[in-house]
Structure 1
Amino acid sequence: MSTDPDVSVVIPTLNRPELAARAVRSVLAQTHANLEVVVVADGPDPITRQTLEAIGDERVRVIELPERGKAPNARNQGALAARGHWTALLDDDDEWLPGKLEAQLKLAATATRESPVVATRMISRTPRADTIMPRRLPAPGEPLSEYFTVRRGLFYGDGFIQTSTIMAPTELLRRVPFTVGLRRQQELDWALRAVQEPDVELLYADDALVLWHQDEDRDRISLENPWQEQLEWLRANRSLFTPRAYAAFTMSVLSSMAAPTRSGRVFRELLSEARTHGRPGAIDYVTFLQIWTLPPNVRHRLRDAVVGRRSAADVR
């Protein structure tokens, strides 16, 4: 019988041994035990190596890269080193609930295509409360670029995919690697490119099986606002979006990054980009205006009031 694991779990990290250890323990607590954990240190990191070795589980191995290449490169290197048929991704500051891999493997068995990408819902945890994301799953026949980007409410989107929820065939992650150098929208970029492959479909487990820690006092890539870089990425990848999705991304996600500039020139540039290359809907115009006219703290308070907050007990 083969000694290879069913699933390889890739965790990129650097100099955050306590967080990495928490993430690793959540993997080792999975109800599906035939797995390996490939922790990819994005540069020399002896403290993390020592911390994880102290866990004392032979399923855990640490790869230290010689120099920093950031998380997308670390994920790619982890996929190259993976021994499992499946590779699941986990950011070092997130956790899994115990039944995540078991649920994903059962769902993968129902796939109609050879290389399914299997995601799950997640619990987004902030110091204020817990929220289930995504709020809805894709409708049959709905273009995924529109599912991920087109809003149905003024202050929030419904569709979502996050790295720590993704499990895919290891071969697919090698064939369609993460884009090295991209700081934001890494999972959106990867998912939209992956589903272009003829043998790929995207499946979602209905349950929230990932705990996404959004500690507001800790630096996160998702808090950076490189709007010029994102605009270049969007223009270079226009073919991945329907016109409706292209406009929605420009007028919501990209505008949220650029609005702190308070620049009339940038306002006009993004509006022109959306109208020239996309097809905005009425809600896109309203969203665009409220992003540019309301201060972020006011928008956040309004979003909380509109969306509502579930307590941790409600989520459980």
Structure 2
Amino acid sequence: MDVSVVIPTCNRPELATRAVRSALGQSHRDLEVIVVIDGPDDDTVAALNEIGDERLRVLVLPERGKAPNARNQGVAIAEGRYVALLDDDDEWMPDKIERQLELAGTATKASPIVATRMISRTPRADTVMPRRLPEPGEPLSEYLLVRRGLFYGDGFIQTSTIMAPTELLRRVPFTVGLRRQQELDWTLRALQHDDVELLYAPEPLVLWHQDENRERISLQNPWEEQLAWARANRHLFTPRAYAAVTMSVISSMAAPTRDAKVFRELLSEARKNGQPGPLEYVTFLQIWALPPAVRHRVRDLVVGRKNA
């Protein structure tokens, strides 16, 4: 089998079935779809049973362990040469897997991570991300983290865009317990291996639904946890990238506290252990000066395109 699709979910049967149908509807048919239900969830099991496709497998975990653990459990039983990850609230374009397999065939290393561009959809606008692809020789931690403008998304990777060899995902599992930046953490750790390279399909092949009226992990703000993660994994970043993750990513989580002590702590961390440039300082100040809702609206106006 070419590809195993792994979808973690819990208590969201409507979203899970939408994601599953987008995976089963791929133009490349030689795949299986493994839905890992994170703890007992009869409604989702019933909804999936109605799909009626022999390529669909359902694994119900005995208790909740969150998405990274669920992904690891799905990878453990995957039968495909590659695993493609899909969050339950996202969708794929019909030719995503076909295009990624074509791109994997051009890899120069044995274990390619094949990502794609995506459409980030908010209630206000659609935005194609990442806005640019990596440049030759560019450190990938800097590509993924260092901004060239005031808004994130220049370089970017998101879970639902990732396809990688099953063996690599078993060798480098997702970090269980990490609530944010799960795909960034995994990608940077995987890239530490000499046989791994990162490839991007230039087309947007994933629809990332950024619904703001429901609970989402990406709306949580565990800044202290993220700072501890960054400090423990400083070797994954160049000094410029470490300053960027501290002054933009972690600061975006911490800024709602409006705590001057936290402001000083993050600024000190970036200056002591990283090499911030002028844009990092400007980004840091605008993150702390503007409320998140205002930043999001301004970003959508500047880099998004209004829905038709």
Q: Normalised by the size of structure 1, how large is the TM-score?
A: 0.96
Is the counterpart of residue 146 in structure 1 residue 146 in structure 2?
no
Is the counterpart of residue 67 in structure 1 residue 63 in structure 2?
yes
The match for 1:54 among 44, 50, 55 is 50
User: Over aligned residue pairs, what C-alpha RMSD do you find?
Assistant: 1.0
Q: Shift of the alpha carbon at 1:53?
A: 1.4
Partners of 1:61 and 1:24 in 2: CA distance: 10
The match for 1:273 among 256, 269, 277 is 269
The match for 1:163 among 154, 159, 163 is 159
Partners of 1:114 and 1:123 in 2: CA distance: 29
Partners of 1:10 and 1:300 in 2: CA distance: 30
Partners of 1:143 and 1:53 in 2: CA distance: 45
Query: What is the SS of the residue equivalent to 1:132?
Result: strand
The match for 1:209 among 194, 200, 205 is 205
Contact kept in structure 2, 1:11 and 1:92, CA below 8 Å: yes
Is the counterpart of residue 242 in structure 1 residue 238 in structure 2?
yes
Partners of 2:152 and 2:7 in 1: CA distance: 29
Is the counterpart of residue 111 in structure 1 residue 107 in structure 2?
yes
Give ranges in structure 1 of 5+ residues lacking alignment.
none
Is the counterpart of residue 253 in structure 1 residue 234 in structure 2?
no
The match for 1:28 among 8, 24, 29 is 24
Query: What is the SS of the residue equivalent to 1:68?
Result: coil
Residue in structure 2 matched with residue 310 of structure 1 by the alignment: 305
Cα deviation 1:44-74 (Å, max 9, x = unaligned): 1222112111111000010000111000000
Partners of 1:20 and 1:301 in 2: CA distance: 28
Residue in structure 1 matched with residue 95 of structure 2 by the alignment: 99
Partners of 1:199 and 1:230 in 2: CA distance: 28
Q: Label 1:50 to 1:167 Cα distance change in 2 as closer, same or farther (>3 A).
A: same
Count of matched residue positions in the alignment of Structure 1 and Structure 2? 308
Query: What is the SS of the residue equivalent to 1:77?
Result: helix
Contact kept in structure 1, 2:129 and 2:153, CA below 8 Å: no
Cα deviation 1:78-107 (Å, max 9, x = unaligned): 000100000000000100010000000000
Residue in structure 2 matched with residue 219 of structure 1 by the alignment: 215
Contact kept in structure 1, 2:239 and 2:273, CA below 8 Å: yes
Q: Could you tell me which amino acid in structure 2 is paired with residue 247 of structure 1?
A: A
Q: Label 1:305 to 1:126 Cα distance change in 2 as closer, same or farther (>3 A).
A: closer
Q: Shift of the alpha carbon at 1:279?
A: 0.2
Q: Shift of the alpha carbon at 1:312?
A: 4.3
Contact kept in structure 2, 1:150 and 1:157, CA below 8 Å: no
Q: Shift of the alpha carbon at 1:18?
A: 1.0
Partners of 1:119 and 1:161 in 2: CA distance: 7
Contact kept in structure 2, 1:155 and 1:302, CA below 8 Å: no
Query: What is the SS of the residue equivalent to 2:43?
Result: helix
The match for 2:188 among 150, 173, 192 is 192
Residue in structure 2 matched with residue 7 of structure 1 by the alignment: 3
Contact kept in structure 2, 1:178 and 1:190, CA below 8 Å: yes
Give ranges in structure 2 of 5+ residues lacking alignment.
none
Which range moves more in the overlay, 290-299 or 277-286? 290-299
Partners of 1:83 and 1:92 in 2: CA distance: 20
Q: Could you tell me which amino acid in structure 1 is paired with residue 305 of structure 2?
A: R
Partners of 1:14 and 1:298 in 2: CA distance: 31
Query: What is the SS of the residue equivalent to 2:254?
Result: helix
Query: What is the SS of the residue equivalent to 1:210?
Result: strand
Q: Could you tell me which amino acid in structure 2 is paired with residue 178 of structure 1?
A: F
Partners of 2:161 and 2:153 in 1: CA distance: 18
User: Runs of at least 4 residues of structure 1 off by over 6 A?
Assistant: none
How much identity, in percent, do the aligned residues show? 77
